[in-house]
Chain A
Amino acid sequence: MIMSSPLTEGFLNSNFTEFELPEELSNRFDLLERIGSNDFSSTFIASERDTNDLYVLKLQTNPDVAMGNEALLLQNLKHKGLPVYENPYGSDSTHYTLRKYIDGEPLDVYLTGKNYAGISQMIDVLVSICDILIYLHSQPEPIIHRDIKPSNIIINPETNAAILIDFGISRKFQKDVKKDTVYFGTHDFAPPEQYGFAQTDCRTDIYSFGVVIRYWLTGTANNETKIQDNRLEKIASKCTALDPKSRFQSASSLKKALLRYKNRRRRAATSIAITAVAAIVIGLSIYVLSNIFNDMSFLNNNPAATESPDVSEPPVNVQTPIGYDDYEFQKLVEFFLYEDNFSKIQAQFEGFNLEIPGAWMWDRGDTWSDDDGIEHHTTNFILWNNGHVHEIFLYGLGLTGNLDVSGLGYLEILDIAHNNLTGLNVSGCISLRELRVGNNNLTSLDLTGLPALVDVNYYWNPLTEPVKRDG
């Protein structure tokens, strides 16, 4: 090598000692930065020379945790919210785990940035973390992360997707062990049992999750600081109950609580609008009901266009089930409001096989009990006014197939996250402001020609091409 530059020569003559790596790693990677270290581990970002791909390289020297734990634990797991590990390297004293670098920011950094997420995105992120925990906890030998904290949750700012990292102190739950033998964790985020009072189980992760919620909303992990929103405060403090028995007993019940919260919040925001259309809905459904009994054949027919329902004056000339005779609504042959406030309507339609063309089906949502033991249904609804669809919420319903809402020029909010949709057509939705399609099976997404769109997330979709957007 020819050393021409004075800096290079000066540097090479300085007493530089490089961090020592096994040859197989030092031949393959350049270390770029050390992103973390403590008494028994150092974590680096490394660049693979041949590909320029970034990796995270972690070496551990503590014999209690350094069993190549992280990689071994995760090597048989596959989830979009988990990092992909290579087989661990290492000797008896030091272990190296290697995974691909995940593009994104740790939650603590993300929250200090400009791209602060609104409550609704926050719930989406939290729900996606719940999904990861559900997966981990449902393994034959449940895997307890044991170190859930903002810096271990990586958020992709483009998509709001969450990925859980750092399984350095995770372990498999062993049925017959009363206590953990090694105590690790991060103060503030670790529950009492992690200090040796009992064996850690999945409720340990629930505890830390609760602290994350508090941290997100108050900026501190201290549970003396109350979250302003009562319902979220309730959820967070239930997560962090000292006695594991008083916490949410599973990540899935926690997830349900979060979805419930989101739906209630949405309902509150739209209740005025709903009240406005409720009269029409009820009026129409009574009309429809009489039609149903008179003539069931409409279920097979395309709705004939008639005049739009008017807010002030309940229509009498509606020939279709729920009066969506606006041309923009023609793609939907029928729908119903699935909302506990309208349980009457829901009951009336029960027993009909509700299908929407384009081959997607829905189930009946999620039934849950509130704190007083009263049963409710997941609130998913389609809000329309003056014959125009304004909001569609079909969240977590297991929808499959393609959803075509193209041409719904008044549609402002479309929330179809947590389904299994394989296609989405939103072309011509010129009023669309918020779009949430996270956790579906979309392979492509075309968001061109949507001038009003300001709030979008599409995390956790197996996209095979970049999302198309204007500008």
Chain B
Amino acid sequence: MPRAKESTSTLLQRIFKTTSLERFIKRFDESEYDTPTFSEYISALCSERNALPQHIINKADIERTYGHQLFNGTRTPSRDKVLQLALGFGLSFDETQKLLRVAGKSALYPKIKRDAVIVYALNHGYDIVAVQTSLFDLSLPTLGEER
């Protein structure tokens, strides 16, 4: 494993407080999987929050079919889609970093303007529409923009 990743995970361990999700991950650590798959993780998040995937997909502004494919594991998300889901779930900054980690994506880095806007939005409870508007205002690529 690359050094960079080691230091990231050390950092994450330092940042994250124990939650029921931590226990959830731990359960997977003890089983045959190293970490839960992304689809398992978001499905568990749904049941923990008593939310329907459909509802989260709507709030994440993700196309319906695509969203369900993320939930049933037939598609792996891009980093932007993970961030959209984080906004859809209304996750905190820490929880979002964790979600990114489970998805194997790089963490939010607050010295990057675009990431910083998202961090600010997560910390202040803004939704996807507000984030997209703000990114657009600041002439930054919006989430999920075609590349």
Contacts and interface: CB of A to CB of B under 8 A. Distances in A.
B30 interface: no
Interface in B1-21: 1-5, 7
A35 interface: yes
A5 B117 contact: no
Nearest to A113: B76
A434 interface: no
Given A7-B117, A7-B120, A54-B147, A19 B2 contact: no
A3 B79 CA distance: 27
Contact of A36 (B2, B124, B140): B2
Interface in A18-37: 18-19, 30-37
Interface residues of A, number: 36
B36 to A, nearest CB: 11
Interface string B111-138: 1111111001100101000110110011
A14 interface: yes
B106 interface: yes
A114 B37 CA distance: 10
A33 B8 CA distance: 14
Interface residues of B, number: 38
B109 interface: yes
A33 B134 CA distance: 18
Contact of A33 (B1, B109, B117, B121): B109
Contacts of B141: 30, 32, 47, 52
B115 A33 contact: yes
A369 interface: no
A7 B111 contact: no
Mostly, the B contact residues are: loop
A16 B111 CA distance: 7
B104 A109 contact: yes
B120 A14 contact: yes
Contacts of B104: 109, 112
A8 B106 contact: no
Interface string A31-60: 111111110000010010000101000000
Nearest to A152: B2
B112 A7 contact: no
A52 B131 contact: no
Given A11-B138, A47-B147, 8 more contacts: A7-B134, A10-B124, A16-B116, A30-B113, A31-B112, A32-B114, A34-B109, A114-B74
Interface of A: 1, 3-8, 10-11, 14, 16-19, 30-38, 44, 47, 52, 54, 108-109, 112-114, 149, 151, 186, 188
20 contacts: A3-B137, A5-B130, A5-B137, A7-B124, A7-B134, A10-B124, A16-B120, A19-B109, A19-B111, A31-B114, A32-B114, A33-B105, A33-B106, A34-B106, A34-B112, A36-B4, A37-B4, A37-B7, A47-B147, A112-B104
